[in-house]
Chain A
Amino acid sequence: MATTTTTVPSAGPVAASRSFLSRLREGDEIARMITFLFAASVVLVTVLLVFELWQGSVLSRHKFGFNFFRTSVWDPIFEQFGALPFIYGTLVTATVSLLIAVPLGIGAAIFLAELAPERVSDTLEFFIDLLAAVPSVIYGVLGVFIVVPLMRQYIQPALRHSFGFLPLFQGPDYGVGFLTAGIVLAIMVIPYIISVSREVLLSVPRDQREAALSLGATRWESTWKVVVPFARAGIFGSVFLALARALGETMAVTMVIGNTPVISASLFSPGYSIAAVIANEFTEATGDLHTQSLIELGLVLFILTFILNGVARLLIVATSKRGSGMGNV
Chain B
Amino acid sequence: MKRIAGMLLVVLAVAGVLWADSALSITGAGATFPYPMYSKWFDEYHKKNANLEINYQSIGSGGGIKQVTEGTVDFGATDGPMNDDQLKAYQDKHGFGILHFPTVLGADVPAYNIPGVTAELNFTQDAIAGIFLGKITKWNDPAISGPNKGVNLPANDIVVVHRSEGSGTTYIWTDYLSKVSEEWKTKVGKGASVNWPVGLGAKGNESVAGTIKNTPNSFGYVELIYAIQNNVPYGRVKNSSGAFVKANLASVTAAAAGAAKNMPDDFRVSITDAPGKTAYPISSFTWLLVPAKFSDATKRDAIKGFVKWMLADGQNYTEALSYAKLPKEVVAKELKALNNVQ
Binding site for B on A (CB under 8 A): 73-78, 80, 144, 148-149, 152, 172, 174-176, 254-255, 258-260, 270, 272, 276, 279-281, 283-286
List chain A residues, Cβ under 8 A from B166: 76, 280-281, 283-285
List chain A residues, Cβ under 8 A from B202: 259
Which interface class (under 10, 10 to 19, 20 to 34, 35 or more) fits B?
Answer: 20 to 34
List chain A residues, Cβ under 8 A from B193: 76, 280-281, 284-285
Q: Contacts A174-B200, A279-B165, A283-B62 given: A75-B157 contact, CB under 8 Å?
A: no
A77 and B188 within 8 A (CB): yes
State the Cβ distance, A40 to closest chain B Cβ, in Å.
Answer: 30
List chain B residues, Cβ under 8 A from A73: 195
List chain B residues, Cβ under 8 A from A74: 195
For A75, A76, A174, A284, the residue with the greatest tally of chain B CB atoms inside 10 Å of its CB is A284
B200 and A176 within 8 A (CB): yes
Q: Contacts A281-B166, A284-B167 given: A76-B60 contact, CB under 8 Å?
A: no
B 140-157 contacts with A by CB, 8 A:
157
| 23 pairs, A vs B, C-beta closer than 8 Å | A73-B195, A76-B193, A76-B195, A77-B189, A78-B189, A78-B195, A255-B207, A258-B200, A258-B201, A260-B196, A260-B199, A260-B201, A270-B200, A270-B201, A276-B164, A280-B164, A281-B165, A283-B59, A283-B63, A284-B60, A285-B62, A286-B65, A286-B191
Chain B interface, DSSP helix/strand/loop, else mixed: loop
State the Cβ distance, A155 to closest chain B Cβ, in Å.
Answer: 15
B165 and A76 within 8 A (CB): no
State the Cβ distance, A173 to closest chain B Cβ, in Å.
Answer: 10
Q: A259-B201, A286-B66 are known; give 8 further A-B pairs, CB within 8 A.
A: A76-B191, A78-B195, A175-B214, A176-B200, A276-B164, A281-B165, A281-B166, A284-B62
B203 at the interface (CB under 8 A from A): yes
State the Cβ distance, A74 to closest chain B Cβ, in Å.
Answer: 6
B322 at the interface (CB under 8 A from A): no
B215 and A174 within 8 A (CB): yes
List chain A residues, Cβ under 8 A from B157: 172
B86 at the interface (CB under 8 A from A): yes
Which residue of chain B has the shortest Cβ distance to A276 in the bound complex?
B164
Which residue of the partner chain, among B66, B159, B194, contacts A174 with CB atoms under 8 Å? B159
